[in-house]
Structure 1
């Protein structure tokens, strides 16, 4: 049973106002479904927006942030639970342990790295939790195309490419999780 969702997203808000809008919509859907948010623990960018909205709506938020990033990502001080960990490896492992599924919203290199680590772990059988991409305004279209290309080239197996669920609306993505 899915009880908590890890959301990977940018420490920046990006240029499109739709990114922030969809972060708020995802927060609303999580709270409506009584799903806790697990995320990177920051108070900036899309991370801060989704955490603040889940809290505003009465939901539960767990942040996991390395001590070196507490100042850089401005560690959120109003969370339900906040874990300050040694490094990024410990952060990702703890976030994975605390979560029943993973969603990547628009984000940068860190978001991509976290998404691909969870996909790789699923491919290797380390976990069998759902993994999704919230493709706001086509943000991930090129990535989806690349995965398709890698599959056509025989470097990604079709069943592994299918591990990454892609939807443009939070409700549709979470429906596929449960």
Structure 2
């Protein structure tokens, strides 16, 4: 199994985020789950990649040329795929992965997660999408999503299809039991 992880290129203000990224990466390696991610060596991206690598796992990074040239690319990955731009990066990560999860992060993390979740709603893939809710980080976002559902802007099945987990074992169990709802026009 290959899991795409979206997360911050920053560490955040609380060590709990790095600890959770480290624990998830270690668990992935122990379970023979390959990490697909943005290819960076900085922030939570670097932490999760290093944890997988330090525990003998496979890490595939996908990095746009402009970030690689700024020396943000992780030099020790199993494979680092350089792509021309951010759009190609997202498409390549989506293609490579069997499941998706967003760890804490900022605007870029949200943009990547919302795009992959939207693609699931449109029936472009039937893979699980998850939020790794470390220390309640995504509570406000989940409130928004359910408010959009209550207001009639998101179908209940689409709001409910988002897996919410805060422990590695919980995430993997949810992936294994996942059944995709029919797409918007399916």
TM-score of the superposed pair, with normalisation by structure 1: 0.97
Q: Which runs of 4+ in 1 moved over 6 A?
A: none
2:18 matches 1:20: yes
- Backbone CA RMSD of aligned residues: 0.9
- Secondary structure (helix, strand or coil) at the match of 1:127 reads coil
Match of 1:55 in 2: 53
Show CA shifts across 1:128-171 (max 9, x none). 00111000001100000000100000000001111211112122
- Selected match of 2:42 from 44, 49, 69: 44
Question: Alpha carbons of 1:128 and 1:55: their partners in 2 closer, same or farther (altered >3 Å)?
Answer: same
TM-score of the superposed pair, with normalisation by structure 2: 0.92
- Mapped to 2, the partners of 1:89 and 1:129 lie a distance apart of 19
Unaligned runs of 5+ in 1: none
- Mapped to 2, the partners of 1:82 and 1:64 lie a distance apart of 6
Matches within 5 A, 1:1-178: 3-72=1-70, 74-178=72-176
Alignment: residue pair count: 176
